[in-house]
Amino acid sequence: MARQRKLSPERKAFINSLIEHYHPEDAADVQDMLKDLLGDTLQGMLEAEMDEKLGYSKYDYKNKETDDSRNGYSRKTVTSSLGEIGLDIPRDRKGEFEPQAVKKNQTDISNIEDQVLSMYAKGMTTRDISAHLSSVYGVDASAEMISHMTDRILPIAKEWQNRPLERKYAIVFMDAVHFHVRQDNQTVKKAVYVAIGVRLNGQKEVLGMWIGGNESAKYWLGVLNEIKNRGVEDIMIVSVDGLTGFGDAISAVFPKAEIQRCIVHQIRYSTKFISYKDIKPFMKELKQVYQAPTEEAALEALDSLEGNWGTKYPSSIASWRNNWPQLSTYFKYPGEIRKLIYTTNSIENFNRQLRKVTKNLTIFPPDDALFKLLYLAMMDITKKWTGRSWDWGQTLDQLCIYFGDRISPADLI
């Protein structure tokens, strides 16, 4: 059973006096009452600040010990979470008064801008945000105004994109997500290249997001060079999809990095050649390949798979044979590391969340508009990345054994 909300006698008397004065009849009237009280409270704080600045209260000239004095008021309208409020800002003759309750040039005393950025990061359109602010807060903010408000995040986003990175990363995942962008009065499909790194302390971070043309190994080469120029000296393992030439681009910039091609992408590619009636028996045998305990056992299973299906589906088997050097990297590692690198699921999950917040905005104006939204979405998503990867202590022990000559004690501090 719910308990009655208890008020102290003093608070109850105060509430009753407000009700008697304002006579509110519904929640909207209460909002108006609170808005009025907020305005009066702020006005009182401003007057008190002026009293403290001058050293005497209004009309108390006998205690005046300064050659400065009041000089009327300036009218100002500020935006609050309860709506717009008109205030009279006290002035002094010397122009030295710096109010703190509502500072000079401050026109928003609420957290509305933070709310706008939060709503934008979750995929609401500028028109939806405008309608929400109007209905909930009584704030008249046009879609254009909200767009300008979110533009303020661009310098911060670009500073983040160019920030220095760690010297070494245990694992880096790379993948691309695609969006439609308006360019030269045409709608074009652009790839957003995303890199997520796992530090040697087990924490994940988004290294950057780059907007380019169609996904290509050449563009990835530029991304990798930028990552290196921002301070990354070494990457132990890179987990990527099956883009042609991707491995060569990685080796050209980080020659010591081991490359693991995503097994899930490979399975999707190889099974698209299989007819529906054969998919179940084919997959049963294919599992013996990628779930094998060792590379030797995996190759034996692949030979068996080829013997049973190679004649009927040569392209499917050939895709495993041709890409085996990069598909088989994970077999040399124990289960803890295998789980992390055999698939790009970590970055695909991130990209899926990016798509979720952009689904209401199917076509973007210039690249900056897309990057602005992706940055805000990224900040919202990564708030939850507070911990380390599962069982990282044991994983790090394994990495130190495999890459002992490349990981020094100083790297682990």
The full DSSP string for 141-174 is: --HHHHHHHHHTTHHHHHHHHT----SEEEEEEE
Task: Answer yes or no: is 144 within a domain.
Answer: no
Shared domain check, 332 and 225 = yes
Shared domain check, 188 and 39 = no
Q: What is the pLDDT of residue 67?
A: 80
Q: What is the pLDDT of residue 365?
A: 61
For residue 272, what are the domain limits?
167-402
Task: Answer yes or no: is 141 within a domain.
Answer: no
Q: What is the pLDDT of residue 283?
A: 95
Shared domain check, 375 and 302 = yes
Shared domain check, 305 and 213 = yes
Tokens of residue 314, six digits:
């040569």
Shared domain check, 238 and 316 = yes
Can you name the residues that pair with 173 across neighbouring β-strands?
196, 239
Can you name the residues that pair with 80 across neighbouring β-strands?
83
Domain count of the fold of the chain: 2
Residue 113 CA, chain-centre distance (Å), reads 17
- Sequence length of the chain is 413
Task: Answer yes or no: is 407 within a domain.
Answer: no
Task: Answer yes or no: is 285 within a domain.
Answer: yes
Shared domain check, 327 and 202 = yes
Task: Answer yes or no: is 150 within a domain.
Answer: no
Residue at a domain's end among 104, 133, 156: 104
Shared domain check, 338 and 191 = yes
Residue at a domain's end among 104, 135, 155: 104
Shared domain check, 289 and 207 = yes
Task: Answer yes or no: is 126 within a domain.
Answer: no
Shared domain check, 365 and 238 = yes
Task: Answer yes or no: is 353 within a domain.
Answer: yes
Alpha-helical (H) ranges within 126-254 are 126-137, 143-151, 154-161, 217-229, 246-253
Residue at a domain's end among 104, 135, 150: 104
CA-wise closest residue to 107 among 136, 129, 140, 143: 140
Shared domain check, 200 and 96 = no
Shared domain check, 180 and 92 = no
Task: Answer yes or no: is 128 within a domain.
Answer: no
* Helices and strands (H, E) in the chain, number of each type: 17, 8
Mean pLDDT, each 10-residue run in order, the chain (413 residues): 62 77 81 79 80 77 75 86 84 86 77 68 71 65 69 84 95 89 75 93 94 85 96 96 87 96 92 93 95 95 95 94 94 89 86 80 69 86 79 88 90 81
Shared domain check, 282 and 197 = yes
Q: What is the pLDDT of residue 78?
A: 84
